[in-house]
Amino acid sequence: MKITVSGAGYVGLVTGICLAQIGHDVTCMDVDGEKIRMLQGGKCPIYEPGLDTLLRENATRLRFTTDPQTAYADADVIVIGVGTPEMPDGSCDLRYVYAAADSIARFAQSGTIVAVKSTVPIGTCEQLQTYFNEKTGEKHLRVASNPEFLSQGTAVQDTLHASRIVIGAADEETRGVLRRMVEPFGLPIVETSLCSAEMIKYASNSFLALKISFINEIANLCETVGADVTDVAQGMGYDARIGGQFLRAGVGYGGSCFPKDTKALYWISAHEGQALRTVRAAIDVNEAQKLLPLQKARAVCGDLRGKTAAVLGLAFKPGTDDVRDAPSLKVVSELLKQGARVQAWDPVAAERFAAALPAEVRYCADVADALRGADLCIILTEWDEVRSLTPQDFERTMRIPLVIDGRNCFDPKRFVGTGVTYESIGRRPVRNHAERTDEQ
């Protein structure tokens, strides 16, 4: 099949390259000329493990362009994979979806199927169908919903080996075409109405966010009552009705999906008079959790003014350079507000972080450089380079070896009897040196 993907960001580019991997001829269209030039030169504009390899392997089935007429004129299916950022009130910004729709209406051939992969509010696909009917009439473009369920850092694996593929359509002919498009993946296919497919995406992401916020609240209670959240999560996870995934306590979720999608779903529910209180609670817990490392730092250090803080990890999770809604943005911003000096390390996300938060941060070439002379260390991303550290690395390199582990990278027992004070999430602290207060 001839498939065009509108948008060459995380969703669109991974989708397009993986569709080429299963044998389709794919054109990726984007308005960003620099991004397209990189792709035409065989270079990935985003960091996503395995994607650059597939790009090279499928070069003969992939084209990249900024010209919508070239992209849309002879496509059998057009996949919309553009961004849908959140508005200040939490609702979904659809300007990029409708910008793509305008070009599609102008250049697509009659009978083309437009599959919306971008995460959009429930009812958007039906509205797009009306929009195309009014704008093109005789072309009879058919809209479908084909939501994505990929995670950054594992996006290629998540696409090629997904747990399911969801197809939402208003008629059997449209469903049949999309079935033929995705059948080579060899994965379970769920067929629904347009609205149900859109809701599946929001409900899935919001439920996972609920699990994360739930275990983080349990972790905070564990610290108060003396329990260990790692043991609690393990005991919960053995129950097949609960499962162990997304039960790792930490400083909260970030990225391009969970924060945006939970806020959008809550906005939709409130707008419809059916406010989802559990989703609102997940959002509120997550925002508060991001500041927990700072609360722990102040409890041990007192005033942070003049202190040097090593921040290990800026991406919202390992395996990606994405910093959207990453806890690091809030933590570093607050550290600077409180007068601390920040020396940060991340293997891939420093450039994006600097663009998102222009501030006086010293970016370090390696972990040792970030730790050198620091009064405290805050771990925000569980990169392998961080996990491989030993208590002796902290003790030898830092001025004051205080580690606040926002991702529970280490077993606290490793720090007993060392010179390192180790604080984590939902577990007893290991305090091996005198606490420093404002008066010290």
Residues 73 and 127 reside in one and the same domain = yes
Name the active-site residue from 18, 44, 92, 257: 257
What's the full length of the chain, in residues?
Answer: 440
Tell me, what's the pLDDT at 433? 60
Residues 92-103: pLDDT tens digits? 999 999 999 999
How many structural domains compose the chain? 3
Last residue of a domain, one of 237, 255, 288: 288
Where residue 113 sits, what CATH number does that domain have?
3.40.50.720
For residue range 374-401, list pLDDT tens digits in order: 999 999 999 999 999 999 999 999 999 9
**Going edge to edge, which strands form the sheet with 142-145?**
62-65, 25-29, 2-6, 77-80, 113-116, 142-145, 165-168, 189-192
Same structural domain for residues 151 and 175? yes
Concatenating the DSSP letter of every residue in 201-228 gives HHHHHHHHHHHHHHHHHHHHHHHHHT--
- 137 and 181: one domain? yes
Q: What is the pTM of this model?
A: 0.92
**Residues 346-366 pLDDT 10s:** 999 999 999 999 999 999 999
- Which token pair is 205? 């992401």
What is the extent of the structural domain holding 211?
201-288
* pLDDT for position 139: 82
Mean pLDDT of 288-297: 97
CA triple 393-397-402, angle to 5 deg: 80
Q: Does the pLDDT value for residue 432 go beyond 90?
A: no
Mark whether 216 and 170 lie in a shared domain. no
DSSP codes of every residue in 311-353? EE--SSSTT----TT-HHHHHHHHHHHTT-EEEEE-SS-HHHH
The predicted-structure confidence for 45-66, as pLDDT tens digits, reads as follows 999 999 999 999 999 999 999 9
pLDDT of residue 256: 87
Say which range, 17-26, 133-142, 280-289, has the weakest mean pLDDT.
133-142
CATH number of the domain at 269, please: 1.10.1040.10
257 in active site:
yes
| Mean pLDDT in residue range 142-146 | 98
Residues 136 and 16 in one domain: yes
308-312 and 376-379 beta bridge pairing: parallel
Question: Is residue 430, in this structure, part of any structural domain at all?
Answer: no
Q: Report pLDDT digits (tens) over 249-258.
A: 999 999 989 9
For range 142-165, the mean pLDDT = 96
160 and 252 co-located in one domain? no
End-of-domain residue from the set 192, 217, 236: 192
Q: What is the pLDDT of residue 75?
A: 97
Claim to verify: residue 281 and residue 295 sit in the same structural domain: no
